[in-house]
Structure 1
Amino acid sequence: MATSHFERFLNEATVPDPDTDCPLQPDCLYGLYVSWCILDRVDPKPDDAFRAAMRRNGIDIQDSRLRMNGPAAADYILASYPSAA
């Protein structure tokens, strides 16, 4: 079975961290996804499709237990906090 772009996003831009006390929140997770899409030249799906895909992949977006990772993380942080650049 082919890997969906949502699965690729999870594999390339997030890292599971079951012990984190600061997991990615829903808006941040979607923002990271949009950054990943921009870098990967993929059209981002709307938020409701993203949320459904996260549920299908076993991610509870209210308590994701995920951390950011890779180039999309840097892009998201710089886009969200331009004074950090």
Structure 2
Amino acid sequence: MSASHFQQFLNEATTPDPSGDSRLGPDCLYGLYVSWAELHGLTPKPDQAFRAGMLRCGVDIRDSGLRMTGPAAADYILSSYPAVA
């Protein structure tokens, strides 16, 4: 999958977190990606392909500097913490 697929994910489901209070780690970032892909009717790429795509987009998944936003964020939170729903 091209980097544009992953860049679209970043554009739609993440935002910079300058405060550092809510930065996404590797597992949460991938989980958010899975939610985003499923909401778009796409089959999520495996973790290794995701990590390579993030690298091509200039995102260090260990220190992304990103937080979640949008519909994929809500979907990820509700599927990760069903007691909240």
TM-score under structure 1 length normalisation: 0.93
Structure 1 residues 30 and 22, CA, compared in 2 at 3 Å: closer, same or farther? same
TM-score under structure 2 length normalisation: 0.93
Residue 54 of structure 2 corresponds to residue 49 of structure 1: no
Gaps of 5+ in 2: none
CA RMSD, 1 decimal = 1.4
Deviations 1:26-47 (A, max 9, x none): 0000000000000001111000
**Aligned pairs, how many?**
84
Structure 1 residue ranges, 4+ long, deviating more than 2 angstroms after superposition: none
Instruction: Map 1:1-85 to 2 at 5 A.
Output: 4-85=4-85
* Distance in 2, Cα, partners of 1:68 & 1:46: 20
Gaps of 5+ in 1: none
* Distance in 2, Cα, partners of 1:50 & 1:18: 23
Deviations 1:38-83 (A, max 9, x none): 0001111000000000011010000000000100000000000000
